Structures are given as structure tokens and as C-alpha cells.
Amino acid sequence: MAKFILLMFICYHCGLDPVFGLLSKRNVSSESLSSLNQEASEGFLWNNIRLPQSVIPLEYDIFLHPNLTEARFSGKVEIKCVIRETTNFVVLHSKDLVISQTTLTTIPSNEQKEVRMQMKNDTDQLFLIMEDAIPKDAEILITIVFDGILGINGDGFYLSEFFTSNKSSRYLASTQFEPTSARKAFPCFDEPALKANFSMSIVREKKHISLFNMPRVDSIPRKNNLVLDTFQQSVKMSTYLVAFAVGEYKGKSKLTKSGVNMTVFYDRTSLMETVDFSLDAGGTILDYFNTLFEVSYPLPNLDMIAVPYHKAAAMENWGLITYRKPYLVIPINSGYRWKYRAVSVIAHEIAHQWFGNIVTMQWWDDLWLNEGVASFMQYLGLQAFDNDWSMKNFFTEKINSMMSEDFTNSRALNQPVAVPDFSIFNGVTYAKGASIVRMVRGLLGEKAFMNGIKTYLNQNKYSNVVSDDLWQALSNSSDDGIDLKAVMSIWMGERAYPLVTVRRNHSEIQISQEPFILKNNTTSRTTPIWTIPFQYGILDQQGHFSRKMFLLREETATIKISGHFKLVKGNYRDDGYYRVNYDPESWKAITDQLMTNHEIFSPGERAHLLNDAVSIFARTKPLNMSVVMDLLNYMEKETDFLPWFSASHSFGILIKLRLKDIKPEVKVLMQKFATVATKALELIENQLQAKENNKGYKDAMKEYMVNLIRRINSRVSDSSPSTLRPSTDKFTQKMD
């Protein structure tokens, strides 16, 4: 079987279309094939990679018969459309499918139009050309019969292989359509804004089950030990969210408090109890989001299926989320860190049921509205499941994103996307997007922010949006009438981020901004001026912080502060997406306070004090190394994850820039990292021996610290950039 699939795959990708096997089954004529490939001799009625808006899909009715043994499928799709502009042609998408029959009829007259097909392979566009134009507001029904190959590359409608306990192989056919692979499974209008309702019928073997976005309504026996399953019609959604699966699977279900039937499906090699943890997490998080957003999850079901091979960690298909197996099938003895990672992925995908599914970006330019917002919301879901997994303790997105922007010529959050592919699913889309959302929440305040989010969801249900729609909803909820579109303009359109420098001068502080450039890898020819929500904290003589907010709209500004105070902490609460530098006296006040009581600063603040200092030190005009050394002194008392996560990345910056080779004193700094890490590890081990609360977390921190110290010690003598792997042993890894 595996050899057969490989042969088909090779034939297909070598240009030997698998039509030789399918033509005999469909009796596709040579004339119909040639009509699909006339682009060599004819022009096209449409020459844009985006589809015309003259024909809009309303409903799909899809029939599929996958043959897992022969790695192929046959199908038929009926697409009901409305004509928005008078036209004599229809353009939709099809890729790697052999089309044997196409008809187009008007509704309700049922008049069949003569159709000529034309295929534009470079854009996957299928043209249906008619002799007579169809008038505006008319409705039509397009019917297409087709065949395809079940691939093995994790894209479109594809096969995954797993093995039973006796080592015999089994196959699961499942889907991965985002961003543009629904067209590989059935001809469709494959753009996110062209939403429609979907109905599905699937023929399967009796030993298999079939799944779709919606619940099954009927199963009818057929000849040859086959069964026809039909499913409820979906809500209005984008093609990339359509999903289905066929294979030898079993499931375990629970009814959530909000009345949704949640089921985890897994292959027969797994034990039932291994899905209890993911089922519990999924139900808890779904109920929490239902309450938090005040927009009910609209489907009667939410199925989660473990797939043997998945390109991403998971995919948020509406009502049928697919996951890599380890994120759903979690043995009882799994470690703390893996459970945290699994719940992170589950929370992210369930957040997508609102951000991406109920409300979807208009086009892939605004993918961050899906991924960035869901990446932020996943932390709320994590904390809802386990209160120890709070955002203040585990928000790694900003450190990851800043390091990515420091070392790569990254894209802006809003950047035109002509041809969407997997490259747009990157650290900027996820991590920077989440960090920007967090900064906006810090600017507005939690209550106003959540009110704006609820408005955004309610106003745009089942619709498509651009970034300005989010900013408008949040602006309307602002108590201070903040124009977020104006505030966020540079943040969205420019890559990188600013450095804010704070200089204390008696009863006032002077602040200034400039782009932070660690390496000269920017292509920008201008110096952007951000509107920075500069949140700062004033520590009084009694040891209490007061929070202040200042919108820095210019390159420099002066803020007056009344009363006696010990220090000013920039980026208070660590909400802002910028680095902060200080004058020497202010740095000393901060490092002295860390030595006296480091917990007066949040874990995130402590993390970014170190990360900012090392990054600034590493620039062409460095900070004095003594500041970094002073910051490291307190860390022998540090037992929280985020500051050590930051230390790992900060150490990685020194390695990646090869500073040890350029500046001999940097080796002393590296050795300091190892010394304080070793002392912190001893403290964590003492806490474990004392049997303090939260043993799982302490065990995970011990393991993390052991690996970190090992990496530091090995790299003190080896500064090759190829050895830099700062994220290998962390709690979290970036999902796709």
C-alpha cells in the first residue's frame, strides 16, 4: 500500500498526471481534457489572481467517495451562486483535480447553459465560459464531477499512516485547507471572504467512521460493505475552514456546561483514558470563552481529532479541529511542561472558533486578526484551565517576537499578500500580533478592552473584517475616546519596534524614542515615529507603585512627577511592545530594588529588564556591561520561568552576535550567567526537598534550569551561531 501511494505521488509530481488511472474509471474524453488546458493558445477573460466579485457562492453540496486503499477519491459538488454583476463567465478554483463533467443551470427555471471550460494553472483558476450572459441578481447552480489523488504531503485531502499493536499499517484520510488547499479537494471559490453554507455526504467503508464540520444526521448502507453518511448543513464559513476525515477511529465524548457535545477522536492504538486530559481542557476552555465573549459558540458539536501527520501543530476547522496526535493523546504520566504545551495548543484552536471562524479576516493581509488575537486569547484560556498558567507568568510571545525581528528582516503586521502560502504563518503574525493586542489592552484597561472585543464579535458575526474594524470597535469602548486607528497606524505598517529612553531629572523624566536596531537588517528608508502607549510605574518611598499612562506621539517628551519617589519603571506591567533604556542612576535604582525585593516587579517585568539590558548592551552603542552584571546578581534568587526564559534568549543574543569573539569581557558575562543559574537551581532543589506547593511547576523549572546551565556551560567556549537553540528546552514552542 505504501509503495502504491509513493508511486502515485511520484507520478503526479513528475508531471505524469494520475489521470491515466482515473480516465478509465470516469471515461473522460481527450476533448474535455484539452479544454482544460487552452491557456497556451487562448487569452483569458480575467487576469487577476483574486477572483472577480461578479459571482458569489451561497451554498455548497459536496459528495465525496474516498478510497483509502487506492489513495484516490471521486466527488461531485453543486454550488448555488448569485450573480452580482451581469457576466458570461464564472471563475472559481480547482487544483490537481480531474474534472469529467460540468453543468451550469439557472434557478429556478432550471435552464442549462452551454459551458466551455478553461484552466489557468498558474492561478488555479477554472473558467466556465457561456455563450450568453447571465443578468445581475439571477441565481445559478454549478455542478462539477471530479476525481483526485489522496496525497501524502499533509496538504489538501491527504492520507496519514499509523500502525496497530501488531505493526500492521492503517490509514486516515483528513484535510488541511489553510490557506488555499480546499481547491485540491473540490472545486470552490477559495477565498476567505467568499463564505457560504456547506452540506456534505461521504461514502466510507463500514469499518471506518467519517467526520465533517457538523454532526452526522444519517447513515445509509450501500453495496460492497459501504455506507453513505450525510451531515447537517454548516453555518456560513470560509472554504479554508471546511474539514472532513475518514478512518478507523474511535471517540470519547462529554457534554460541556454550555451544551456543546465535545468529542476527542483517536486511533485504535491509543487507550481511552489518554484523551481524558485534552477532553477536560477543551470543555473547560470552550465554556470559559462562551462566557467571556458573550457570543455563543454556534455549533452543536466541537470534535477534536488526532491526526498521525499534520504540517502544523493543529488547525482550527470549525467544529472539527485537527491536531498532531501528541497534543490530544496525553498519557496520564505526561510531564507538566508537555501538558502546558498541549493545553496551549487546545486553547489557541478553540479561541479561533471566535477569532477566525465567527469573524474572519477579509484577505490574508490581515491574517494577524486570526492568529495574533487567538495567540493572545489562548493565555486567557490557559489560566481558565489552570490558574497557575497565567499570562503574567508565561507570556513568551514578546520575547520570541522581538528576537525574531532583531535577527531577521521580518514583515510588517499589515503587508500586502498577493499569493498566500505557509510563509505568512510566522512569528510576526502570531507572537507580535499577540503582543500588540496585549499592549492595546494595557492602554484601554481590561474592562474597556473586553467590551470592545464583544462589540467586534457581535457586529461582525459570520462576516469578514480588516484591522480597522477591530480598532474601531475598541476605540468606541475607550473611556478616553482614544483613536486606535491613528495610534496603531505605525505599529501595523512598520516592521521592528521602538526603544524608549528614560532620563530622570529631579521631579521630571524625559523620554525619547528611536527604532531599535540590533543588526542593520532593516530595509526602511525612513525613521518612523510610533505613537507609544508609555505605561510607567512610580515607586514611592513606602514601596508602593502607582501606574501612569502617557501617549508618546513625538520623538521626545517631558513628564512632570510630583512628590518624592525611589524610581520610575518604564513599560510598567510589561504590556508595551518596546524596549526601555535608562540613565545610569535609574538603572542603579532598579538593580538595587531587585536585590532588596525583586518580586515588587512582575515576572514579565523582570524578564524584560534583563532582555532589554542585554539587547541594548549588544548594540553598536552599548550599555555599560556593569548594568547587565548588576541585573544578573539578583537572579540567583529567581525561581520563576519568564525571567529565566528571558535569560536563555539574552544569552543567545550574545552567542548569535559572536560578541565573545569581539569583546573579551563578554566571556566574563557569560560565566556570570552560568554562576547565577547554578545558584538558582540549588534554590529550586531546596524548595522541592521542602515539599512546597506546586511541585509539578518546580520539577519543570528544575529540568529547565539543568538544560539551560548545560547549554550555557557548553557555549562559553563555543560561540558558533549554529549552536544557538534558545527555544529547544522551553515550556512553549511556536505553533504554526
Smallest Cα–Cα separation from 559: which of 531, 574, 537? 537
Confidence of residue 257 (pLDDT cuts 50, 70, 90): very high
Give yes or no for a contact between 474 and 437, defined as CB atoms under 8 angstroms apart. no
Residue 10 confidence (pLDDT): 44
Confidence of residue 694 (pLDDT cuts 50, 70, 90): confident
443 CB-near residues (< 8 Å, 6+ apart): 482, 487, 533, 535, 549, 575
3-class SS letters over 330-376: CCCCCCHHHHHHHHHHHHHHHHHCCECCCEEECCHHHCHHHHHHHHH
Q: Mean pLDDT across the stretch 206-214?
A: 97
Question: Rounded to an integer, what distance in angstroms lies between the CA atom of residue 44 and that of residue 432?
Answer: 40
Residue 709 confidence (pLDDT): 86
Residue 698 confidence (pLDDT): 81
Q: Between 166 and 40, where is the model more confident? A: 166
Question: Rounded to an integer, what distance in angstroms lies between the CA atom of residue 132 and that of residue 135?
Answer: 10
How many percent of the chain have pLDDT more than 90? 74
Q: Is the per-residue pLDDT at 727 higher than 50?
A: no
CB atoms within 10 A of CB 699: 15
Helix (H) or strand (E) holding 472: helix 467-477
Q: Is the per-residue pLDDT at 38 higher than 80?
A: no
Confidence of residue 263 (pLDDT cuts 50, 70, 90): very high
Collapsing DSSP to helix, strand or coil, 147 comes out as strand
Length of the chain: 736
Q: Is the per-residue pLDDT at 659 higher than 70?
A: no
Q: Is the per-residue pLDDT at 620 higher than 80?
A: no
Smallest Cα–Cα separation from 148: which of 8, 340, 285? 8
pTM for the model stands at: 0.91
Give yes or no for a contact between 315 and 240, defined as CB atoms under 8 angstroms apart. no
Question: Rounded to an integer, what distance in angstroms lies between the CA atom of residue 89 and that of residue 131?
Answer: 9
Domains in the chain, start-ordered, CATH in brackets?
2-247 (2.60.40.1730), 354-493 (1.10.390.10), 497-582 (2.60.40.1910), 583-736 (1.25.50.20)
Q: Is the per-residue pLDDT at 730 higher than 60?
A: no
Kindly give the pairing relationship between strand 579-582 and strand 498-505: parallel
Helix (H) or strand (E) holding 92: strand 87-93
Question: DSSP for 425-445?
Answer: SSHIIIIIHHHHHHHHHHHH-
732 CB-near residues (< 8 Å, 6+ apart): 340, 341, 344, 394, 396
Which residue in the block uniquely carries the three cell numbers 454550488? 79
Using CA atoms, how far residue 476 sits from 435, 449, 481, 552, in Å, is 21, 10, 7, 21
3-class SS letters over 621-659: CCCCHHHHHHHHHHHHHCCCHHHHHHHHHHHHHHHHCCH
Binding residues, by number, are 348, 352, 371
CB atoms within 10 A of CB 2: 12
Q: Which residues pair with 83 in a beta bridge?
A: 55
Q: Which residues pair with 81 in a beta bridge?
A: 57, 140
Q: Is the per-residue pLDDT at 191 higher than 60?
A: yes
Mean pLDDT score across all residues of the chain = 89
Give yes or no for a contact between 278 and 331, defined as CB atoms under 8 angstroms apart. no
Give yes or no for a contact between 146 and 98, defined as CB atoms under 8 angstroms apart. yes
* Distance between first and last Cα of the chain: 30
For the ranges 335-339, 518-522, 615-619, the lowest mean pLDDT is seen at: 518-522
Residue 733 confidence (pLDDT): 39
Residue 630 confidence (pLDDT): 95
Give 448's DSSP letter.
Answer: H
Residue 692 confidence (pLDDT): 63
Q: What is the pLDDT of residues 63-119, one digit of tens each?
A: 999 999 999 999 999 999 999 999 999 999 999 999 999 999 999 999 999 999 999
Smallest Cα–Cα separation from 318: which of 467, 192, 452, 151? 192
Residue 563 confidence (pLDDT): 79
* The one catalytic residue among 349, 494, 605, 638: 349
Question: Rounded to an integer, what distance in angstroms lies between the CA atom of residue 583 and that of residue 616?
Answer: 13
CB atoms within 10 A of CB 3: 7
For the ranges 10-24, 111-125, 497-511, 608-622, the lowest mean pLDDT is seen at: 10-24
Smallest Cα–Cα separation from 574: which of 526, 527, 536? 536
Q: Is the per-residue pLDDT at 525 higher than 60?
A: no
Residue 13 confidence (pLDDT): 42
Q: What is the pLDDT of residues 367-424, one digit of tens each?
A: 999 999 999 999 999 999 999 999 988 999 999 999 989 988 888 999 899 999 999 9
Helix (H) or strand (E) holding 485: helix 484-493
Which residue in the block uniquely carries the three cell numbers 546578581? 633
Q: Is the per-residue pLDDT at 1 higher than 70?
A: no
3-class SS letters over 672-721: HHHHHHHHHHHHHHHHHHCCCCCHHHHHHHHHHHHHHHHHHHHHHCCCCH
Q: Is the per-residue pLDDT at 662 higher than 90?
A: no
Binding residues for Zn(2+), by number, are 348, 352, 371
Give yes or no for a contact between 47 and 18, defined as CB atoms under 8 angstroms apart. no
Active site residue 131: no
